[in-house]
Structure 1
Amino acid sequence: MIFVFCCFFLSQTSFAQKDSTAIRAKQLKFGADKYNPLSPSKAAFYSAIFPGGGQIYNKKYWKAPIVWAAIGTSVYFYIDNSNEYDRFRTAFKLRSQGLKDEFTDENGNTLISTAGLESAQKTLRKNRDLSLLTGVLLYVLQIVEASVNAHLLQFDTDDSLSINPMIKTDPLLVEAPKLGLTLKYSF
């Protein structure tokens, strides 16, 4: 029993690999790579303070106008839907008090019914809230994108890090060839 335990214990330790994180830490201490662990948090901070700031910090200048356009479009639709909602809400309140509203002509004919005013209010309120939600999501998304991009900029893209797919036939079974896929990677 002890023999089996010793064999098992020795076999586990004999096939251990070198710790790649320790080797990486030694390389970083000696300046082999330019790794800045605070870079992603700085990019996220700059994006949180000023939308597109993290993209500029990451030197991805072409992304900043996209962020500004996306958030600006959301703000535009929020303001437009809010103004239209207020317009239909005011008309509904005036009509419910028996007063003339902007959707009533000089002859007293209503251009939009009371039910139409209520329906327009519901639709515009829903669109306004959706525009606000879209703007918040885009704001958070650009912060996350800046942080992830800062992480990926520090990723080692050396040519020695590659995956080379190869297709090999089985040499033992010549009469019934089987294909397999081998992925080789080297560091």
Structure 2
Amino acid sequence: MVVLLFFCAFAKAQEVPASTLLDTETVTAVSDQDPYEPLRPAKAAFYGAVLPGLGQLYNKDYWKLPLVYGALGSSIYAVSFNSNQSERFRTAFKERLAGRIDEFTTVNEDGTTTEIFSDDALLNGQEQFRKRRDLFILVSAGVYILQIVEANVDAHLSQFDVDDELTLGPAIYNDDMGQTMNYGLTINYKF
């Protein structure tokens, strides 16, 4: 009995319908497709860590390079600006404590001085610019890390097969019973 079932299954497996045969023109060889590189995301992240924007260049996303350098440049400029302003207020406060005329004190024609900022205002200004500087240091570090992560994710996603066999699209169906329209999304996969 088992032998008979084996022969029936074997004979059934040997039958190939004509509709399942493929033409040689429609079959693409594995060597014709882009090779899958498992280390591509790691390389992109490494290049982005070595030099900001290099990971985007490795992924051939040249349009992202001005965005990376614009974000890094503006945040580094903000660090420098706030650091300089904090130092100006700090120097002025030190000069005032030493009894000298600082940049925020004007000398009138009659020899008297007028302070533009009080001592408390100088301390508050120094503290505010220092806090902003520290914040923009964190922003700069965040932009640097973000461009590394973006290069890694982009390299990883660029290896996915995104042909027309898998589609996501809107679906609108008419409900015959209730005379209403039903809306939704459909996922279609073509074999």
Place the TM-score, normalised by the shorter chain, in its bin: 0.7 to 0.9
Encode CA deviations 1:94-138: one digit per residue, 9 max, x unaligned: 212333222222333212211111121121111111111111111
| Residue ranges of structure 1 left out of the alignment (5+ in a row) | 1-28
CA RMSD of aligned residues (A): 2.6
Large movers: runs of 4+ above 4 Å: 29-33, 175-178
Shift of 1:163: 2.6
C-alpha separation in 2, matches of 1:75 and 1:126:
15
Give the equivalent residue in structure 2 for 1:183: 186
Encode CA deviations 1:22-43: one digit per residue, 9 max, x unaligned: xxxxxxx877552111111111
1:99 aligned partner, one-letter code: R
Encode CA deviations 1:126-159: one digit per residue, 9 max, x unaligned: 1111111111111111111111111121111111
Give the equivalent residue in structure 2 for 1:24: none
Normalising by structure 2, report the TM-score: 0.73
2:153 aligned partner, one-letter code: V
Q: Would the aligned equivalents of 2:56 and 2:65 in 1 still touch at CA under 8 Å?
A: yes
SS class of match (1:45): helix
Normalising by structure 1, report the TM-score: 0.74
Given candidates 132, 139, 142, the residue that maps to 1:137 is 142
Indicate the structure (1 or 2) with the bigger Cα radius of gyration. 2
C-alpha separation in 1, matches of 2:58 and 2:144:
16
C-alpha separation in 2, matches of 1:53 and 1:72:
15
Encode CA deviations 1:66-98: one digit per residue, 9 max, x unaligned: 111110111111111111111110111221233
Higher strand fraction: Structure 1 or Structure 2? 2
Give the equivalent residue in structure 2 for 1:163: 168
Give the equivalent residue in structure 2 for 1:153: 158
The answer as to 2:87 corresponding to 1:86 is yes
Given candidates 119, 124, 135, the residue that maps to 1:119 is 124
Shift of 1:175: 6.1
Count of residue correspondences: 159
Q: Percent identity?
A: 46
